[in-house]
Amino acid sequence: MADQNDVIPIYLFLGFLESGKTKFIQETMEDKRFNKGEKTLLLICEEGVEEYDISRMPKKNVDIRVIDDKDEFTMENFSKLLAESGAERIVVEYNGMWTMDDFFKAMPDDTTIAQVMCFVDSTTFMNYNANMRNLVVDKFNTTEMVVFNRFDKSFDPNEFHKIVRGVSRRAEIVYEYTDGQIAYDDIEDPLPFDVEADDITIEDKDFALWYRDIIEEPMKYDGKRMTFKALIARNGKFPENTYAVGRHIMTCCVEDIQYCWMVAQDESGNEPQNKDWITVTGKVSVQKHKLYKGKGPVLYVEKYEKAEAPEQPVATFY
């Protein structure tokens, strides 16, 4: 295991073919504030029309390598290229048709993600979203920023905003207009419940939004009393008086449905059974727990009652 000071940062650029990744990376590498001479491995996983021009970069200590065959995008090959380059950092132009899971599995052990940006051609985005929604969601789930380039004045930012926010509330959204203007998305997304209240009731239709919010920003709910309907999951390996409360959530399509849960601590001695639907009330405490890798929201159950399954048992963001 490498010392933390020796961990190599990865700057990861996502997007489909011809989405503007190459142009942005080229401009970034031409910027003296970013390119100060560090040995850089520029790993290209998708070759488009534009090519990189090292001669225009203020520092030319850049080793360009290509892995455009998914079968060859392995930790072994990635590590080999990194060792050969002697790089102090990595810039990756990632293939839009490959999943983020593919990338994380191939990351060398001594690397870490420093920044993730996703570039989108606004003129083709709606078509990609309609026909390759799973890949769009896959990228938006990871990115810190979504840049919609080639954005025309006739486009409605709200439509693009809704699609991003249906996946992530954290990602910053930027619109690059065809006339060169740049606008940062400032559309407000109030949650459909009062997060400032001490007692919060989550309606069935809002479960997916709430669950994503409490996982992304758990401290907002620390000490709050929550009431919501949940499906119970129990496991013989769970600690005593512990079970999971959650629901199946669909992000984009049937294939990605998964049970999303949080830890419930129940000292009543009368715990619900596995696969019971209940309406539960309890206080949230953000703390370390054996079932989390670190800290997470733990619901200290105050009361529950059996309930009928929601009209739509699988929660969605729409």
| Domain with 261 in it | 199-306
Is the pLDDT score of 310 beyond 90? yes
Strand partners, 147: 119, 174
Where do the H-state alpha helices sit in 107-258? 122-131, 133-140, 157-165, 207-216
Contacts made by residues 186-189, CB under 8 angstroms, sequence distance 24+ = 187/157, 187/158, 187/161, 189/165
pLDDT of residue 5: 57
Q: Are 163 and 254 part of one and the same domain?
A: no
Question: What CATH number is given to the structural domain containing 93?
Answer: 3.40.50.300
Is the pLDDT score of 11 beyond 80? yes
Q: Which of 19, 50, 15 is nearest to 150 (CA)?
A: 19
Q: Are 224 and 288 part of one and the same domain?
A: yes
pLDDT of residue 252: 62
Q: Are 36 and 173 part of one and the same domain?
A: yes
Determine what percent of the chain is predicted with pLDDT higher than 70: 97
pLDDT of residue 318: 66
Q: Are 126 and 49 part of one and the same domain?
A: yes
pLDDT of residue 77: 97
Q: Are 169 and 242 part of one and the same domain?
A: no
Is the pLDDT score of 1 beyond 70? no
Is the pLDDT score of 79 beyond 60? yes
Q: Does 193 fall in a domain?
A: no
pLDDT of residue 317: 77
Q: Does 20 fall in a domain?
A: yes
Q: Are 41 and 134 part of one and the same domain?
A: yes
3-state DSSP call for residue 133?
helix
Q: Domain ends where: 151, 184, 217?
A: 184
- What's the mean pLDDT in 231-246? 94
- Per-residue confidence band for 193, with pLDDT thresholds at 50, 70 and 90: very high
Q: Does 166 fall in a domain?
A: yes
Q: Does 21 fall in a domain?
A: yes
Domain count, the chain: 2
Q: Are 165 and 20 part of one and the same domain?
A: yes
Q: Are 103 and 30 part of one and the same domain?
A: yes
Q: Domain ends where: 184, 212, 247?
A: 184
| pLDDT tens track for 247-281 | 999 876 666 789 999 999 999 999 999 999 999 99
pLDDT of residue 3: 43
| pLDDT tens track for 208-231 | 999 999 999 999 999 999 999 999
pLDDT of residue 47: 78
Strands of 27-110, DSSP E:
40-44, 62-66, 89-93
- Per-residue confidence band for 2, with pLDDT thresholds at 50, 70 and 90: very low
Q: Does 312 fall in a domain?
A: no
Q: Does 311 fall in a domain?
A: no
- Global pTM reads 0.68
> Chain-wide mean pLDDT for the chain?
93
More confident residue, 293 or 252: 293
Are 221 and 214 within 8 A, CB to CB? yes
Determine what percent of the chain is predicted with pLDDT higher than 90: 85
Q: Are 79 and 149 part of one and the same domain?
A: yes
Q: Are 174 and 221 part of one and the same domain?
A: no
Q: Are 244 and 211 part of one and the same domain?
A: yes
Q: Does 192 fall in a domain?
A: no
Q: Are 19 and 81 part of one and the same domain?
A: yes
Q: Does 1 fall in a domain?
A: no
- Per-residue confidence band for 199, with pLDDT thresholds at 50, 70 and 90: very high
| pLDDT tens track for 102-159 | 999 999 999 999 999 999 999 999 999 999 999 999 999 999 999 999 999 999 999 9
User: Which residues contact residue 178 at a Cβ distance below 8 angstroms, ignoring those fewer than 6 apart?
Assistant: 150, 151, 152, 153
Question: What CATH number is given to the structural domain containing 212?
Answer: 2.40.50.140
